[in-house]
Structure formats: structure tokens, C-alpha cells
Amino acid sequence: MEEINSLMHGFAVALTPMNLGLMMVGIILGVLIGVLPGLGGANGVAILLPLTFAMGNTPAGQVSAIILLSCIYWGALFGGAITSILFNIPGEPWSVATTFDGYPMAQQGKAGEALTAAFTSSFVGAFIAVLMITFLAPLVAKFALRFGPPEFFAVYLLTFCSFVGMTKSPPMKTVAAMMLGFALAAVGLDTVTGQLRLTFGFTELLKGFDFLIAVIGLFGIGEILLTIEEGLDFKGMTGKMKMKVVLETWKELPKYWKTSLRSSVIGCWMGITPGGATPASFMGYGVAKKFSPTGANFGKGEIEGVIAPETAAHAAGTSALLPMLTLGIPGSPTAAVLLGGLLVWGLQPGPMLFEEKKDFVWGLIASMYLGNIAGLIVVLTTVPFFAAILRIPFSIIAPVILVICAIGAFTVHSSMFDVWLMVVFGVIGYVFKKLDYPLAPLVLALVLGDRAEDAFRQSMLASQGTVTIFFSNPLVGSITTLALLMLFWAPLSSVIKRVRR
Amino acid sequence: MHKTQKSFTSKFGRNILSAAVGAVVAFGTGFAAVGSAWEPTKSVEFVVPAGTGGGADQMARFIQGVVTKHNLMKQSLIVVNKSGGAGAEGFLDVKGAAKDPHKIIITLSNLFTTPLATGIPFNWKDLTPVQMLALDQFVLWVNADTPYKTAKEYTTAVKAAGPNKFKMGGTGSKQEDQIITVAIEKLTGDKFIYIPYKGGGEVAVQLVGKHVDSTVNNPIEAVEQWRAGKLRALCVFDDKVMPYKAKVTATLSWSDIPPCKTQGMDVDYQMLRGIFMPGGVTKEQVAFYIELFKKIQATPDWKEFMEKGAFDSTTLTGDEFVKWLTKEEQRHQSLMSEAGFLAKK
């Protein structure tokens, strides 16, 4: 058991009072960053990166520096769930799926339960992912190498397919929202031809539509407009302010171990490939809805609908660090910024890192265990506090949310144009909600649309236009088949039932 | 927790001390003798016209780190990625900030290729050239499991297979990687399938996973995979061998990679890593940055970075730099028009 020895050595490296202190600082900063929509883990880590340059001179300092930064990352992952549940405003794209059941729970006065479930399942997902990193790192790195453009496209297809029929809206409305998302995702530079598309000569449109702006506008501003119309009456004001709620929720959670396990597997897989936390959370939610006995109630405030996406998102967010360390390709934007940090400290991520910098790698892995435990303790103690925010009258909290949303939209690219764009998206979000169109498919298509398109066209280039490339090997073939099964599951199952009769 | 804070404050104290010492030394050596030497009065925005994690971004963040570590500037340097439209977003941003001395931009070949391929209203003459920091090399890589030991063996195999059989992976479309690919095709008569990806690191990993047959990655993008024995370097697209003789892999150093010219593939291409300011800034302001980068290049960290990435550490400033840029712009114009990459007017 060489890994266990290495890990124990890692704990010895990571467990100094200084590092534990940095861990706490990192987690708290991270939670704050995660709560502010738009600021996000990637920006937060980038802003604080220069702080660590002076630390990275010694091997021990390098470990401290990565602990500080990765704890900000864990904290931001935890924090993203808070505003999704309380205000229906996802702080990060991977928290969108958490709003589906988290927000209804908060409206029913169960904000404490929802937050506890979200935080705990985040912890479970991350923990399983760290276990996998500890014991399977070399194997997993090899698996990641098998992913070329057709495999990536198959994974995105699976995400989209498992999503259709997931929301309550009619399938055609879901498809319409998704198509709008694809259209928005197409704006900007086309990777494959190197040409600008749909920019109409506006320099502001060169960079395309950022999903963070869209998420803040569609959900945040849209929700506030809706609430204002309904008469300034904020639902869910009965948030209880007791620590007991944490323990009560914990008693419930073991019932859903199957969902947690499924979501963890999905999350680890998406983090490694690297599909990322956003598809993982949506896929986790969709799969849980299909398999759960209470699947029909999803969207009305089922605790399982909070557990599934949160577990998957965290498992993905954590395992996304593995391809960064072993291959040098970041699995998420935050991982990309961390990658920059490693380079500044004189560490070159890649296959040799595990061989040559054992102290650093195992110190980091040990800090993942410690950081997540520390993170869980920190965020759970804040549950009553955050749940109590809902008691503040809407007339006070709404302007605060508006200001935070505007700041969030501005920070993404430091551009005033984005703030106006956010307002436009807010109006669109309001109209969508009024007409009962689902917002999530739009966001999903905006986040993954251009990546799916790139992967598809790269595959077509490689195969010279033959679609059978999506069935050309067992791996891509089985993912594609699974995707098609997911898409046609509802009609198929009804046919099967009829045949049996 | 308490201990952390204490060590932070003591570090901070030391920084002030060393800054003070530095200022005194600078005074003594006549740096301040110019009299009214310009200096940034607020933090400086360092624009990267490319995404996070790429070559330009790595260099910019590295520079930011060196400046902080050695206290080379009183104000802080803030790296901002403006990658939209193959860097057009960044270039237009700096173009629009004329006379603002608190903004600098690091460029790559997209300084020339982006306006030519997309037709956006930008030319490098809209900016003030400050300094060429280095030139980035390009190397022809194949997977180490393939039988090709030399560039010649590889091109022979490509030719034998016929057109559109071998896949060349590269960063972006109608940019440096594809320009080199087209130049190879012109010379050898081969025809590759060119597959564009978003970033250089991704391209190297795709080659390790055998999803493409070859790449023209920059050394820094592929060095770790090379050291791990996953990739094989066939030749460098330069007319001379690289000067770095220290062993990188178990048996090879950068200087062991032959120039492509000697392999019957006369393609010579390097990529600019240069610094520019917005138009309309004063001479004193440019002088400050030239001096700053001189100090950066004198640090041991910089030398180590150059060697790790096997950069050509040629530096040019002033008229020589402008001359080089003019020549290079014409070269890109002709390379891209031959390849049919120019934007339709």
C-alpha cells in the first residue's frame, strides 16, 4: 500500500499550524467569493494568486501556497449553493441545478434543511473524488487520454439528452429554450474556421455571451422582477435559526446513499474527462430524477434534488484537479488559474510531477482531505445565519441583491456593457418565467454549446465527414448509445410496457 | 492563525525595507538622475490577448510573479485576460486606451494573424512597441510509440499514405500552427487534416492520446510530455539549433533537436513574445517599461524560464524592433494570402 504511506507523508507535510490557519482563511474567503455571483472561484483565485508568489520560494512554501489557493476553490464550491437555495440566484453555473429543488425548499421554510443537505453532499462528493485521486491517479490519467473529439462530443450529447424531459415544461419549450442558448453560444469567434460569427461589427460581441452574465441576469434579476410584481412579498420568511436543523437533516441523508454514490461516479467521470462541474451537476440531477421513486416530485422541493447535483458538482470540481496535475490540462477555469500558479512557483504540471515532487503532490492531496473537513465545519456553522437572511424584509434585501448582481456582472470582464447585458437578460428571464419557458436548458446550452460544436466539427474533420466515428470504438459507442437511450427513454419505456401487456 | 498573521507582517516589513534599499540604490546608480523620470501612479493593467493557461498567459503571470517577488515596481501589475475573437478583444481594448500609460499588452503571433484573418479594424501600428522579450520556437512532435525517428521518415510516411490521412493538431484556426502546417504542405506536397483546438496544452495531450498524428507545439507546451517519454521531437522550425545544452530528457537536450532545414523541410517560423503600450504615450513612459523589463530579464528566474521553454532570448527595442515588426507583418501577409487565410473584404 504505497499510496497510504505517501498519503501519511503528505499529512505530515500539510499538518502544520500555519497551513491549518491558511486553510481556514482560504475556506472563509472562498465561501464569500462563492456567495457573490460572478466573482467566482476562478476570479477569486486569480486575484489572490500574487499573494502567494512570495510564499512559493521553498518546497514547504509551495505546499502552503497551493493549500491557500485550493481552499479558496473548495470554499467557492461550497458557497455557490447558498444564493441558489436562498434567492434562486446561482452564484456559479454548476449551482443552476441546485436551484430546481433548493429554492422551492427555501420557499417552504426549509432553507436550513436544503443548505445542510447541499453542504453535506458537497463534502461527500469531494471526499469520494479525493479517495479516487489517492488510489487511482495513474489509472485515471490513462483513461483521460482516451478522450478525443468524438468522445467529448458523446459526453456533451449525453448531458443534453439526459436533460430533455427533466424539467416540468413541455418538451418543445425545453427545446426552444435550448436552441436560443445554442444561438447565443455561437456568437464570437469560431474555433474551427477562425472567423467571427454573429457579431454584426460590434466589438462588444467579439467575446461572445458569457454564461455568468446570463445566469446572473436570467435568474437573479428575473426573479426579483417577478417578486416585485407579486407584491413585494418574499416567500419563505419562516427560516428557523437553530443548529438542531443540521442534525435533523443528517438523520435523513443516509437514506439517499444510492443517489450520492451515483452522483459521485458521474461527477468523478466528468471531472476527469474533463467535462467539468456544470455538466456533472445537470447530469447528476437528471439521472437521480429518472431513478428515484419520488422522481415525479422533483422540482417541487425534494431534498434528493439538492443532494444529486451538489454531490456531482463537487466530485467533478475536485477530480478536475487530477488532469491538471498529471497531464497539465486544467479541467475547469479555476484549475487553469491554479496551473498558472504552479508555473510561477517553478512547478511544471505534467506526468513527471508525481515522480519528482512527491512532497508537493501528496501534501496537496492530504490538504484536500483536511480542507474539505474544515470547509464542512465552517459552512455548517453558518447555516442558521444564512437561513436567517430570509427573515430580512424584501424591501431591504432586494436592493442589496441588485447591487451584488451588478457588481458580479461587472467583475466578470470589468465592463459596463456587461451590466446592461445583465439587465437585458433579466427581462428575458422575467418573460421566460411568465410564459412558463424553462431557463436551465438555455443556460446549459450557452455553457456547453460551443464546446459541443467544436468537438463535433473536430470529429467531422478527423473522420472526413463520416458520422459513424461516434461508434468507432467501444468507449465512444457506448456513451453515444447511452445518450440516445436517455433521449428516447420515455417513448421507449411506454412501448415496452404496451408490448408486455 | 495568529502565527500566520505574524509571519505576514514580518514579510511585509521586510518588503518595505528592501524596497527602501532598492530605492536608495536606484538613486545612487543614476536611475533617478534623469530628473523627472516617469513612474506609474496607479496599478498597471497587463492585458493578455489569449486565454488562461496558454503560452502568453503563462509568461504574463510569470512576469507578474517576478515583479512582485523582486519588488521591481512600486505599483502592482494586474494580469487581465481578454481573449475574445482570437485576441481581438484585447487589441481593441488597448487601441481604445490611447495615451493611457497604465496599460501594457503582451502579444503573440495573433498581433498579425487576427486582424488579417478576421478583418477587425486593428494594426500593430495603433500601439506603441516597447520591447521584444523573446521569440518562441516551434517543434515538430510525434507520439513516441510511432516508428518515425526523423522528420524525413515522417514526411515520407505522410506522402505514402496519400492526402487527408494524417492528422495535424494545432492551436486555433488561421493562426501560427496552421500557417506552419500549410508551409510544410507547400514544401513537401503532403496534405494533412488540420484539426484546431483551443489551447496548446490540450493539443499536446491529444497527441499523447494518439487522437492526432503530429503537432507543432511550442517547447513549453510539450516539454513535460517529452520528459515523460510520451512524445518525440523531430525538428525545430528554425535555421539553427537551439542553444540549451542541459539534458531535458534522460538522453536529449534542446540542442539535440535538428533544425527542420537540415531535414529537407525549409520552414523557419518563430513567434513574437513582445510588449506594447497604447498609442500616444510619451517617451519617458516607454523608457520606464523598457527599464522595468531589463530588470526582469536580469533575474535568475527569467533565465530559468527561458531555458525551460527553450525560448530564443533575442531582445529588441526601439527602431530595430519596429523594423522587425514591419518585416514580420509583410511576411505574415504573404504567408496568409498564399494559404488563402485573408479575410474577404
Q: Which amino acid is at A211?
A: F
B162 and B121 part of one domain: no
A462–B195 C-beta distance less than 8 A: yes
Beta-strand (E) ranges in B76-166?
77-81, 103-107, 127-136, 139-143
Mutate to test the interface with A, among B1, B75, B210 (most CBs of A within 10 A): B1
Q: Kindly state whether residue B14 falls inside one of the protein's structural domains.
A: no
Q: Give the Cβ contact number of residue B101 at 10 Å.
A: 23
B164–A22 C-beta distance less than 8 A: no
Per the structure, the count of domains in chain B is 2
Residue showing cell 501519511: A8
Residues on chain B touching A348 (C-beta within 8 angstroms): 223-224, 308
B148 and B253 part of one domain: yes
Predicted local distance difference test score (pLDDT) of residue B28: 42
B1 touches chain A (CB under 8 A): yes
List the CATH number of the domain containing B299. Answer: 3.40.190.150
Q: Kindly state whether residue B31 falls inside one of the protein's structural domains.
A: yes
Distance set, CA B255 to CA B226, B227, B240, B310 (Å): 14, 15, 9, 9
| CB contact at 8 A, B144 and B232 | yes
Q: Which residue of A has its CA nearest to B165?
A: A462
Residues on chain A touching B52 (C-beta within 8 angstroms): 42, 46, 330, 333, 336-337, 339-340
A424 touches chain B (CB under 8 A): no
> What cell numbers appear for A138 in the block?
495513474
Residue showing cell 490540462: A329
Residue showing cell 493578455: B48
Q: How remote is the C-alpha of B157 from its chain's centroid? A: 31
**Cα distance between residue A147 and residue A351, in whole Å:** 17
For A130-185, write each residue's pLDDT tens digit.
999 888 887 877 888 888 999 989 988 988 887 775 656 787 888 899 999 999 99
B194–A461 C-beta distance less than 8 A: yes
Residues on chain A touching B343 (C-beta within 8 angstroms): 195
> What cell numbers appear for B163 in the block?
492526402
| CB contact at 8 A, A193 and B117 | no
Predicted local distance difference test score (pLDDT) of residue A235: 53
In a 3-state reduction of DSSP, which class is residue B280? coil
B143 and B132 part of one domain: no
| CB contact at 8 A, B64 and B46 | yes
Q: Which residue of A has its CA nearest to B14?
A: A54
| CB contact at 8 A, A112 and A86 | no
Strand partners, B222: none
- The secondary structure of residue A49, as a DSSP letter, is G
B307 touches chain A (CB under 8 A): no
| CB contact at 8 A, A72 and A32 | no
Q: Give the number of C-alpha atoms closer than 13 A to the C-alpha of residue B289, restricted to the C-beta side.
A: 30
Mutate to test the interface with A, among B44, B211, B221, B332 (most CBs of A within 10 A): B211
**Cα distance between residue B334 and residue B179, in whole Å:** 11
B18 touches chain A (CB under 8 A): no
> Where does a domain end: B213, B242, B263?
B263
B83 and B143 part of one domain: no
Residue-wise DSSP of A319-383: HTHHHHHHHS--SSHHHHHHHHHHHHTT---STTHHHH-HHHHHHHHHHHHHHHHHHHHHHHHHH
**Cα distance between residue A20 and residue A76, in whole Å:** 18
Strand partners, B44: B77
Q: Kindly state whether residue B114 falls inside one of the protein's structural domains.
A: yes
User: Of the candidates A194, A336, A351, which has its C-beta nearest B175's C-beta?
Assistant: A194
Residues on chain A touching B202 (C-beta within 8 angstroms): 329
Mutate to test the interface with A, among B69, B70, B224 (most CBs of A within 10 A): B224
Comparing CA positions, the residue from B135, B129, B120 lying closest to residue B90 is B120
Indicate whether this model's pTM tops 0.90.
no
B214 and B299 part of one domain: no
Q: Kindly state whether residue B345 falls inside one of the protein's structural domains.
A: no
| CB contact at 8 A, B204 and B176 | no
Residues on chain B touching A26 (C-beta within 8 angstroms): none
Residues on chain B touching A191 (C-beta within 8 angstroms): 172-173, 196-198
List the CATH number of the domain containing B220. Answer: 3.40.190.10
φ and ψ at residue B233, rounded to 5 degrees: -90, 125
**Cα distance between residue B219 and residue B150, in whole Å:** 17
B230–A327 C-beta distance less than 8 A: no
B202–A329 C-beta distance less than 8 A: yes
B169 and B111 part of one domain: no
**Cα distance between residue A150 and residue A141, in whole Å:** 18
pLDDT truncated to tens, each residue of chain B (345 aa)?
343 343 443 444 444 444 444 444 444 444 444 446 899 999 999 999 987 667 888 888 889 888 888 889 999 888 888 888 889 999 999 999 999 999 999 999 999 999 999 989 999 999 999 999 999 999 999 999 999 999 999 999 999 999 999 999 999 999 999 999 999 999 888 899 999 998 888 899 899 999 999 999 999 889 989 999 999 999 999 999 999 999 999 999 999 999 999 998 999 999 999 999 999 999 999 999 999 999 999 999 899 889 989 999 999 999 999 999 999 999 999 999 999 999 876
A348 touches chain B (CB under 8 A): yes
B200 and B280 part of one domain: no
Comparing CA positions, the residue from B77, B113, B167 lying closest to residue A463 is B167
**Cα distance between residue A366 and residue A354, in whole Å:** 14
A188–B173 C-beta distance less than 8 A: no
A458–B195 C-beta distance less than 8 A: yes
Q: Kindly state whether residue B281 falls inside one of the protein's structural domains.
A: yes
B173–A193 C-beta distance less than 8 A: yes
**Cα distance between residue A350 and residue A313, in whole Å:** 24
Q: Kindly state whether residue B83 falls inside one of the protein's structural domains.
A: yes
A207–B82 C-beta distance less than 8 A: yes
The CA distance from A51 to the nearest CA of chain B, in Å, is 9
B254 and B333 part of one domain: no
Domain interval for residue B221 = 139-263
Q: Which residues of chain A have pLDDT under 70?
A: 1, 37-41, 165-168, 232-242, 274, 330-333
Q: How remote is the C-alpha of B90 from its chain's centroid? A: 15
Mutate to test the interface with B, among A55, A146, A203 (most CBs of B within 10 A): A203
Comparing CA positions, the residue from B68, B244, B92 lying closest to residue A415 is B92
Distance set, CA B31 to CA A180, B43, B69, B285, B287 (Å): 59, 21, 21, 14, 11
Residues on chain B touching A330 (C-beta within 8 angstroms): 52-53, 201
> What cell numbers appear for A20 in the block?
491549518
A468 touches chain B (CB under 8 A): no
The CA distance from B34 to the nearest CA of chain A, in Å, is 31
Q: Which residue of B has its CA nearest to A457?
A: B195
Residues on chain A touching B208 (C-beta within 8 angstroms): 145, 327
Cβ-in-10-Å burial (0-12, 13-18, 19+) of A477 comes to: middle
Mutate to test the interface with B, among A189, A342, A459, A461 (most CBs of B within 10 A): A189
B209–A352 C-beta distance less than 8 A: no
Could you give the strand order of the β-sheet that contains B127-136, starting from the edge strand earlier in sequence?
A: B77-81, B44-48, B103-107, B271-278, B127-136, B316-317
B174 touches chain A (CB under 8 A): yes
Residue showing cell 484573418: B117
B170 and B209 part of one domain: yes
Q: Kindly state whether residue B280 falls inside one of the protein's structural domains.
A: yes
**Cα distance between residue B269 and residue B184, in whole Å:** 11
B234 and B173 part of one domain: yes
Mutate to test the interface with A, among B4, B207, B231, B248 (most CBs of A within 10 A): B4
| CB contact at 8 A, A372 and A126 | yes
Comparing CA positions, the residue from A266, A269, A347 lying closest to residue A309 is A266
**Cα distance between residue A182 and residue A449, in whole Å:** 5
> What cell numbers appear for B43 in the block?
496599478
Predicted local distance difference test score (pLDDT) of residue A353: 82
The CA distance from A327 to the nearest CA of chain B, in Å, is 7
Interface of B with A in 140-169 (CB under 8 A): 164, 167
A340–B202 C-beta distance less than 8 A: no
B16 touches chain A (CB under 8 A): no
> What cell numbers appear for A273 in the block?
474527462
B87 touches chain A (CB under 8 A): no
SS3 content of chain B, % helix, strand, coil (to 5): 45, 20, 35
A54–B69 C-beta distance less than 8 A: yes
Residue showing cell 447585458: A421
**Cα distance between residue B130 and residue B105, in whole Å:** 10
Interface of B with A in 53-72 (CB under 8 A): 53, 57-58, 61-62, 64-65, 68-69
> Where does a domain end: B207, B242, B263?
B263
> What cell numbers appear for B228 in the block?
515523460
Tell how strand B214-215 and strand B139-143 pair up. antiparallel
B197–A458 C-beta distance less than 8 A: yes
Q: Kindly state whether residue B292 falls inside one of the protein's structural domains.
A: yes
What lies within 8 Å, CB to CB, of B159 at 6+ separation is B188, B189, B190
B333 touches chain A (CB under 8 A): no
B103 touches chain A (CB under 8 A): no
User: Of the candidates B61, B173, B341, which has its C-beta nearest A191's C-beta?
Assistant: B173
> Where does a domain end: B201, B235, B263?
B263
Q: At what angle do helices B110-118 and B88-95 cross, to 10 degrees?
A: 100
Torsion of CA A394, A398, A401, A405, to 10 degrees: 150
B132 and B275 part of one domain: yes
**Cα distance between residue B121 and residue A199, in whole Å:** 14
What lies within 8 Å, CB to CB, of A149 at 6+ separation is A454, A455, A456, A458, A459, A462, B195, B211
Q: Which residue of A has its CA nearest to B171?
A: A191
φ and ψ at residue A290, rounded to 5 degrees: -70, -35
B131 and B275 part of one domain: yes
| CB contact at 8 A, B77 and B46 | yes
Q: Give the Cβ contact number of residue B44 at 10 Å.
A: 21
